[in-house]
Amino acid sequence: MTKSVKVDVIVVGGGPAGVASVRTLTAGGARVALIEKTRFPRSKPCAGGLSAGAVRLLDYDFTTVVREKVNELRLSYKDKKPVIIKAEEPIALMTKRAEFDSLGIEAALSTECQYFVLPEISGIELRRDAVELIYPGLRIKGNYLVAADGAGSTIRRLISGRPKGAFGVAIEADVDANEVNTQEIRTKVDFGFSPGGYGWVFPKGDHYNVGLYSWNSRHSRFVNRPALKQYAQISLGEVNLSD
């Protein structure tokens, strides 16, 4: 038997964009269904830096998960000719993504939204004045749909009718801050280390988060643990990586 749910707005994705959407919509009186494919806490490769613009959109207290404030940022291409950005106000607030996302989903669930964890979507039906998401044993119908399920949005792909193509790939690890002896600026983004992407080093108080990203899965052979170890050693010296 298939169950049906009717709401005003369906929000797919429980990350920062989805949480902000849920809180704004429910505050305005809308009936909202929030759909996530995994339960929290969840691991996700992400540098975890909150920009000033992102911070302005957060209407709940996130200070408990801020691990460090960054006022200097080092930008470079293949670790050459760096550009240093400095500011009196924090350029970014550093968090661990799993901690930040867990806090966000709690903020979303403090509203009157309906929450579903549904890992597999079967299809989407679009009508002139409604949209219906179809899951095994469940159909969720709304007047509007917010696809907040990331840059490689499954919802966007299903709506456009395009087959699944190239997608972004990333890998990250943590490094104990006690192992790092470098006196350079501790926050860096290094473009070009991986084809079509970048590497990053972000301080998180008791550890550093180091990672590699490429926008195209065809470059996945450059985004792996040996490459990450090499990048970490270039950036931080002889250090050990922990998942």
Tens of pLDDT, residues 49-72? 999 888 888 999 999 999 999 999
Distances (CA, A) of 54 to 6, 17, 95, 220: 31, 9, 13, 29
> Phi, psi at residue 201, to the nearest 5°?
-135, 120
Residue-wise pLDDT tens digits, 92-132 = 999 999 999 999 999 999 999 999 999 889 999 998 889 99
Q: Is 185 exposed, middle or buried (0-12, 13-18, 19+ CB in 10 A)?
A: middle
Any idea which fold 3-48+98-160 has?
A: FAD/NAD(P)-binding domain (3.50.50)
CA dist 217 and 171 (Å) reads 12
Task: Provide the 3-class DSSP secondary structure of residue 61.
Answer: coil
Gap between the Cα atoms of 101 and 189, Å rounded: 22
Q: For residues 172 and 243, what is the distance between their CA atoms, to the nearest angstrom? A: 7
Other Cβ atoms closer than 10 A to 41: 15
Q: Over the stretch 136-178, which tens digit does the pLDDT of each residue have?
A: 999 999 999 999 988 778 888 888 876 666 678 899 999 999 8
**Domain ranges (residues) in the chain:** 3-48+98-160, 71-93+166-236
DSSP 136-189: TTEEEEESEEEE-S-TT-HHHHHHHTPPP----EEEEEEEEGGG----S-S-EE
Q: How far apart are CA 121 and CA 132, in angstroms?
A: 11
Token pair, residue 141, equals 């119908």
Beta bridge partners of 68: 94
> Could you tell me which of 119, 113, 112, 142 has the C-alpha nearest to residue 6?
142
Its CATH architecture, for the domain 71-93+166-236, is: 2-Layer Sandwich (3.30)
Give the model's confidence band at 14: pLDDT under 50 very low, under 70 low, under 90 confident, else very high: very high
pLDDT recorded at residue 57: 85
H or E element that contains 103: helix 97-109
Read off the DSSP letter of residue 242.
B
* 197-211 pLDDT tens trace: 999 999 999 999 999
Beta bridge partners, 198, equal: 191, 213
Report the first-to-last Cα separation within the chain, whole angstroms: 42
pLDDT digits (tens, 9 = 90+) for 34-53: 999 999 888 888 888 999 88
99, burial (CB in 10 Å: exposed 0-12, middle 13-18, buried 19+): middle
pLDDT > 70 in the chain, percent? 97
**What are the structure tokens assigned to 49, written together?**
């830096």
